[in-house]
Structure 1
Amino acid sequence: MRILQFCRRSFLLVAAILVYQQSEAQSIALTVDAGKPGAPIQSTMWGIFFEDINFAADGGIYAELVKNRSFEFDEPLMGWEDASQGGAKGAVLITNESATRPANPRYAHIAWNAEQGLYTLINEGFKGMGIRKDIRYNFSVWARTPNEAVKLKIELLNANGTAIGGTTLSVAGNDWKKYTASFTATATEAKAKLRITFEGKGAVDADMISLFPNDTWKNRPGGLRADLVQWLADLKPGFIRFPGGCIVEGRDLTNRYQWKKTVGNVEDRELIINRWNTEFKHRSAPDYFQSFGLGFFEYFQLAEDIGAEPLPIINCGMACQFNSSEVVPLDQLDPYLQDALDLIEFANGSTDTQWGKLRASMGHPAPFNMKMMGVGNEQWGEQYIDRLKVFTKVLKEKHPEIKLITSVGPFSGGELFDYLNPELRSMHVDFIDEHYYRAPEWFLKNANRYDKYDRSGPKIFAGEYAGHTERKVQPENKNNWESALAEAAFMTGLERNADIVYMASYAPLFAHVEGWQWTPDLIWFDNLRSFGTPNYYVQKLFSTNKGTNILSVTSANEALSGKNGLYASAVLDGTTKEVIIKVVNTNEKETAVDILVSGAKKASAAGILSVLKSAGAEDINTLDDPFHIKPVEQSISLKGKKLQTVLPAASVSVIRLKAL
C-alpha cells in the first residue's frame, strides 16, 4: 500500500512538473518600454456621444415626467386622457395662437362642471412615470382663469389607480402666471400616472403642465435624471458630442436641429417631431418628440459638470441623405453660417455680446470655453465638400482657435469613404470623423487600422462605433460579451495610435428598454432603474486608465494586434508615475504571459489588475442582473521588473504598475 501511495505521489509530482513546464513553454512574452514615453495622449481621447434616440432625452435623461406638457404634439391631446366619473361634465379645447406665440402656440382651454362627480385629466407619462417613495415632486403649470379662482387637485396614481401622493393649488386671475406646488410620494411605482382633478365649476387656460422629481442631478429644478448622468460622470469622459447624430440633419431641413430654438426660457422653446419617430417601421414611436428642455445650454452645462470638453455638431445646410437629401443652395448658406458663428459667441463670448448675454441670463456668465465644433454629421459627396469649404473659410477666418470636425461619411470604407478621405486631406482639415457599425469580426481584423495612417495628415475622431452582432436593428442585436470583447481589442489599436487618433466615442449612448429604436446601446434604463452594458465597462476601463503618453508594448518585436489571439496597448501616467497595460485575450482558453517592464527606474513590487470577463459570448447585463459582467480588481506582484500572470479566456485585463 505504501509503495502504491508513493507511486501515486510520484506520478502526481511528475504530472505537475510537466504541466508547469508546458505552461512555461507556452507563456507569451510581452515587453513594455517604460523608458521611452511616446506621443502624448489627448485629454479628449475617450469621450461620449449623445443623441436623442431611444427616448434618451425626453423620457430619459431629461427628468420631466409629463408627456406632451405643452400640447404641441401632432395630436395635441396625445398622452392625455379624460377620466371623469360620477356625472361630471367637461371639455378640452386646444387653442392655437401662432401669430402671437410662434414658439409655443397651443394651450388647453379646459371648462368643466363637476358639481356632481369628478372631472379629471390623466397624463400617462413616458411609458408611465417612475416615482420613488419619500422623494419630493414639483408640479408646475402656466395658467389663467377668466372667471373666479379655481382649485386643482394634483395626484400621482399607482398602476392600480390608488393615489400615492398629491397636493392642491388655486388659479386666480386672467393673466398668464406660473403656479407651483410640491408634495412627497408615499410609494415607489414604475408605471405611475398624473391625475388633475378640477373641482366645482369653472374654466382655465393651461400650458406647460410639468412634474419633476426634486432629486435631479445637482438638485437643479427642471434638471436631469441623476442616475443616468452618474453613469456618464463615472466614465470621466474627455468630451461629450451633442446633439447627435442624425438628429442634427433632420429627415428634412424644416425639422433639422436649430440650436437657437433650444435656449432661453423653457416655455419659449419650439418643440419639433423627433426624426426617430417613424424612422423604423418595426420600431415606430408616434409619441416621440423633442421638447428641448434639454437644449444647448444644458448640454454645455452637462459637459462642464462631468469635466468633458463640449463638442457641438451643427447643420451645414444638408438634411439626412438617407432620407430626403435636401440641401440649401450654396448662395443661401448665410443663415446656417450665422448660426455657427452665433453658437461660438453663445459658448465663449463676452456678456456684452447678444448671445453671451443670453448665456449669462440663463445662469452662466463665464464662458464655456468651447474649443471644437463639428460641421455636418454623416454627410457625403461633392455637395458636402462644396458646403464644407464655405464653412471652413468663414469659421477659420473669424475663429481660427476652433478646431473643426469633418465627416468622411457613414461607412468605414467603400465608394463614399474613398471619395471623401482624399478630398478632406487635400483641404488639410483638423479632424476626420470615421464611423464603424460593424460585426465583431471586423473590429478584431481592423485593430491595426491606424498603424500605417499618414502621421502628418488630419487627426482622427472615431466618432461612432459599436460591434453589431446582427445586421438589422432588432432585439437580437445585443450588447453581449462577444461585441464588447471585440471593441476592446479595437480600442487597443486606437490607443496605440493616439498620436493621430485624438478622440473616440461609442454610439448610441442611451436606450429605454421599452422605447428603443436602435440597438445596441451603451446604457439601458427603464423608468426607475438603469444599467451599464459589458460595452460600457470596456469604455470605462479605457477612459479611467487613459494615461498621458503612449508606450511601446511588443511581443517578439511586433505590436500585439491579434497575434496568438492577444491585443495590447500600454501607456504611461506621468501624474501617478504608473505604467498601465491593457491586454485583450480573445482566446477560448486562458493564456499565460510574461510581461517585462523595461526602462523603468524602479518598478514597484505590487500592482493592480482589473479583469473584465465572462464565460459566454452571448452573456449580457440586464435590469434584473445589472452586474453580471463587471470588472474585478485584485493585487498582483512583480519579480524584479517582470510580471508573470495568466489571462483568463475571453477577457480584458488592465494592469497598473508603479514605475518610479
Structure 2
Amino acid sequence: MYWTDDGLGYFEFLQLSEDLGARPIWVFNNGISHRDEVDTTTVSPFVQEALDGLEFARGASDSKWGSVRAAMGHPEPFDLKYVAVGNEDCWKKNYRGNYLKFYDAIKRACPDIKIISNCDGSSHFLDHPADYYDFHIYTSASHLFSMTHQFDHTSRSGPKAFVSEYAVTGKDAGTGSLLAALAEAGFLIGLEKNSDIVEMASYAPLFVNDNDRRWNPDAIVFNSSMHYGTPSYWVQKFFRESSGATLLDANLQTNSSSLVASAITWTNSVDGETYLKIKIVNFGNRHVSLEVSVDGLGLNSQLSGSTKTVLTSSNVMDENSFTNPNKVVPDPSLLENADKDMNIIIAPYSLTSLDLLTESNSIRMPQTDSSARSSI
C-alpha cells in the first residue's frame, strides 16, 4: 500500500503514543490494498493476525504474544482501545464481508475494543455495526471553511464520528500556509460545536521529513537537526482545551459568511482557575468590529489574567520554515478592555482566542452564554 520502513512499526508507534500520553488507534490490514483484495472466504488468516496483534499490545505478559512484548522490554500492556478495519476501503468489493469477519472476531475476543468502519455515516445510516465511522476530507481552503456545518444535521443515534484525516491541500496549502490553517480552524469550530456526535478528530499528516516529502502540507516538519510547526500545527494549540471542556450556547449575530465562533469553559491545570474561551475565525479580508456580550457565567469582577491570542500574518500564503520557524505563530497579549461587554477588533484572515477568567465555582449555564454582533 505505502512505502514503509520496518525500523518504525507497530511496537514503536505504541511506545510513541504512550510517551505522548495519547491513546493509540491501530489501523490494520483488512485484506484489501489499492489494487488487490482477499476474498471474504479466505480472509481468516488476516483476522487471526489482527487478534494476535491485539494480544501483543494488550495481553498478559505470560500470554503467547504478550510474552513477546514483554521480551521486547514492555511487560505492561499498552492502553489500546480503538482499532480501524482498513483505511479508505469502504467501496471496495469485499470490504463489508471482510469487515464483518473482523468485527465479530474482535468483539468476541475483546468486547471493550471500539471498532471504526471506513464507511462514512454522517449523511446516511451504516448498513453494518460499528462504534465509530471514519470521515476524511482533503480539499481547498474555501470548501473546508464552508464545511463548518458539516455535522449539524447528522443523526445523533448510531455510531459516533471520527474525523481521522482532514487538511487543506493543493495550491491553497503550499507546504503549510496561514490560509490553509484558518480554513481548518473554521472546520474545527464546527466539529467542536458538534462534539456530541464527533468524538475524535486528527489532522493529517502529522510529521514529514523535509528530505523525503511525499505529501504537502504536514503539521510538523523536521530534518536531522531541526523542526518547526506549520500554521496548521499552531491551530491545534487553540483547541487543546476543548477536550473535556463545556461547550456553551454561543450565538454569532452577523451577516458575514466569513466569521465563525465558539465558546467553551475550561479549567487550567496550572492555576486551577476556570476560563471562558471564545474562539473567532475571520476568513475575510477586512477588519471586523465585534461586540461581545457575556451573560450568566459569573465572570471575575476583576477579569485579571484575561488574554487575547491571535494567529495571523501579513499575507495569507505565509509559511514557517527552518530559517523563519516563527513567521506565523500565536501572538498572546493581555486583554486590556476585558469586561462582560466589550468591543474586539478582529484582524483580517485571523484566528483569535479570548480567555476570560470566571469566578471560581460559580458557573451557571444560561440560555445564551455569549452573543456577538459584527459590523464589517
State the TM-score, normalizing by the size of structure 1: 0.51
Structure 2 equivalent of residue 580 of structure 1: 277
Cα distance, 1:373 vs structure 2:
0.7
Residues 338, 356 of structure 2: 8 Å contact kept: no
- The residue number in structure 1 matching 2:144 is 443
Structure number with greater Rg is 1
The equivalent of 1:433 in structure 2 is: 134
Q: Secondary structure at the match of 2:148?
A: coil
- Conserved? CA contact 1:545–1:580, under 8 Å: no
In structure 2, relative to structure 1, the CA distance for the partners of 1:385 and 1:555 (3 Å cut) is same
Amino acid at match of 1:572: T
Please, which of 15, 22, 41 is the counterpart of residue 308 of structure 1? 22
Cα deviation, residue 449, structure 1: 0.5
Deviation at residue 376 of structure 1 after TM alignment: 0.5
1:647 aligns with 2:346: yes
Q: Is 2:101 aligned against 1:390?
A: yes
Distance in 1, Cα, partners of 2:286 & 2:243: 28
CA distance in 1, matches of 2:338, 2:205: 43
Structure 1 runs (4+) deviating above 6 angstroms are none
Q: Aligned AA for 1:297? A: F
Residue 534 of structure 1: CA displacement?
A: 0.8
Are the counterparts in 1 of residues 115 and 132 from structure 2 also a CA contact under 8 Å? yes
Q: Which residue of 2 is the match for residue 405 of structure 1?
A: 116
Q: 1:351 aligns with which of 61, 86, 89?
A: 61
Deviation at 1:592, TM superposition (A): 1.5
- The question of whether the paired residues in 1 share the 8 Å contact of 2:167 and 2:203 is answered with yes
Residue 615 (structure 1) aligns with: 314
Query: Structure 1 counterpart of 2:20, which letter?
Result: I
Instruction: Return the alpha-carbon distance in structure 1 between the equivalents of residues 314 and 232 of structure 2.
Output: 15
Deviation per CA, 1:387-446, whole angstroms, max 9, x where unpaired?
Answer: 1111111111221100011112xxxxxxxx69x964x62324111111111001111211
Q: For 2:194, give the aligned amino acid.
A: N
The unaligned stretches of length 5 or more in structure 1 are: 1-249, 251-274, 277-288, 409-416
The CA deviation at 1:563 is 3.6
Please, which of 220, 232, 236 is the counterpart of residue 523 of structure 1?
220
Secondary structure at the residue paired with 1:447?
A: helix
1:332 deviates by 1.5
The match for 1:565 is: 258
1:110-149 Cα offsets, whole Å, 9 max, x none, are xxxxxxxxxxxxxxxxxxxxxxxxxxxxxxxxxxxxxxxx
1:14-58: CA deviation from partner (whole Å, max 9, x where unpaired): xxxxxxxxxxxxxxxxxxxxxxxxxxxxxxxxxxxxxxxxxxxxx
Note the C-alpha offset of 1:513: 2.4
> Take 1:378 and 1:639, find their aligned partners in 2: how far apart are those partners?
47
8 Å CA contact 1:615, 1:650 repeated in 2: no
* Equivalent-residue separation in structure 1 for 2:85 and 2:289 (angstroms): 47
Task: Assess, with a 3 A threshold, how the Cα gap between structure 1 residues 639 and 479 changes in structure 2: closer, same or farther.
Answer: closer
Give 1:586's aligned amino acid: F
Equivalent residue in structure 2 for 1:470, among 159, 166, 171: 171
1:545–1:643 distance in 2 versus 1, CA, 3 Å: farther
Report deviation, 1:652.
Answer: 0.5
Matched residue SS, 2:202: strand
Distance 2:261 2:236 in 1: 15
Name the structure 2 match of 1:137. none
In 2, distance between residues paired with 1:564 and 1:332?
Answer: 52
Residues 311-335 of structure 1 show CA distances to partners (whole Å, capped at 9, x for unaligned) of 1111111112xxx2x1112121121
Residues 57 and 66 of structure 2 are in contact (CA less than 8 Å); yes or no, is this contact kept in structure 1?
yes
1:361 corresponds to = 71
Contact map agreement 1:547 1:574 (CA 8 A) in 2: no
Match of 1:635 in 2: 334
Equivalent residue in structure 1 for 2:207, among 504, 507, 510: 510
Which of 167, 170, 177 pairs up with 1:480? 177
Provide the rounded CA distance (Å) in 1 between the counterparts of 2:67 and 2:308: 50
> CA offsets per residue over residues 155-175 of structure 1, 9 Å max, x none?
xxxxxxxxxxxxxxxxxxxxx
**C-alpha displacement of 1:639:** 5.6
SS in structure 2 at match of 1:483 = helix
Counterpart residue number, 2:159: 458
> What per-residue deviation string (whole Å, max 9, x for no partner) do you get for residues 92-123 of structure 1?
xxxxxxxxxxxxxxxxxxxxxxxxxxxxxxxx
How far apart are the structure 2 equivalents of 1:531 and 1:634?
A: 22
- Report the Cα offset of residue 380 of structure 1: 2.2
Maintained 8 Å contact 2:39/2:94 = no
Check the 8 A contact 2:132/2:161 in 1, yes or no.
Answer: yes
Secondary structure in 1 matching 2:344: strand
Q: Distance in 1 between matches of 2:28 and 2:86?
A: 6
Percent of residue pairs bearing the same amino acid type: 34
2:137 alignment partner AA? Y
Compared CA separation, residues 524 and 646, structure 1 to 2 (3 A): same
Contact 1:488-1:584 within 8 A present in 2 as well: yes
| Contact 1:549/1:574 (8 A) holds in 2 | no
Q: How far is the alpha carbon of 1:511 from its aligned partner?
A: 2.0
Contact in 1 for aligned 2:40/2:94 (Cα 8 Å)? no
- RMSD over aligned CA atoms reads 2.2
Q: Equivalent residue for 2:232? A: 535
Cα distance in 2 for residues equivalent to 1:611 and 1:627: 13
Q: Which amino acid aligns with 2:350?
A: S
Match of 2:370 in 1: none
Alpha-carbon distance in 1 for matches of 2:142, 2:338: 36
Q: Which moved more, 1:388-397 or 1:431-440?
A: 388-397
Structure number with greater CO (CA < 8 Å, separation at least 6) is 1
Paired residues, what number?
Answer: 352
Task: Determine which structure has the larger strand proportion and give its number.
Answer: 1
d(CA) in 2 for partners of 1:306 and 1:643?
A: 39
Is the 1:546–1:571 Cα contact (8 Å) retained in structure 2? no
Aligned to 1:493: 190
| Contact 2:161–2:198 (CA under 8 A) maintained in structure 1 | yes
TM-score by length of 2: 0.88
Partner of 1:88: none
| Deviation readout 1:577-626 (Å, 9 max, x if unpaired) | 22111111112122111222222123351311111111111111111111
Matches within 5 A, 1:106-255: 250=1
